[in-house]
């Protein structure tokens, strides 16, 4: 799967309960790393997904507020790594 090597990856998890799917996110971290991807340090976990959004799909309630606070940093981290990877691939071929 060389097409995935040295690509940034970000993990978003959710669940109906408070655990927010973090166990699945931890499992994906190892899987994505084994695929050769660079998993960013920020993650996004949304618990109580059924109440985190209103009918229009906008963040709602405590879960939605937490998501609104966490998403900008998460997106910024992913953007930074994507741009860094793109610049590095333009400079030198990946080492595989």
- Average pLDDT, rounded, for the chain: 91
Whether residue 96 is contained in a domain is answered as: no
What is the span of the domain harbouring residue 7?
Answer: 2-91
- Assigned domain for 84 exists: yes
Type and span of the H or E element at 13: strand 8-14
CA 77 to chain centre: 9
What is the reported pTM? 0.83
Phi-psi sector, 48: left (phi>0), alpha (psi -120 to 50), beta: left
Domain count of the fold of the chain: 1
What's the pLDDT tens digit per position in 4-31? 888 999 999 998 887 878 888 889 999 9
């Amino acid at each position: 799967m060389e097409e995935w090597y040295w690509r940034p990856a970000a993990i978003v998890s959710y669940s109906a309960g408070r655990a927010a799917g973090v166990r699945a996110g931890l499992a994906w971290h190892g899987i994505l790393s084994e695929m050769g991807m660079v998993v960013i340090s920020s993650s996004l976990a949304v618990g109580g997904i059924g109440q985190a959004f209103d009918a229009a799909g906008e963040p709602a309630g405590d879960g939605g507020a937490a998501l609104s606070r966490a998403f900008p940093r998460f997106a910024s981290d992913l953007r930074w790594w994507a741009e860094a990877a793109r610049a590095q691939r333009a400079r030198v071929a990946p080492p595989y």
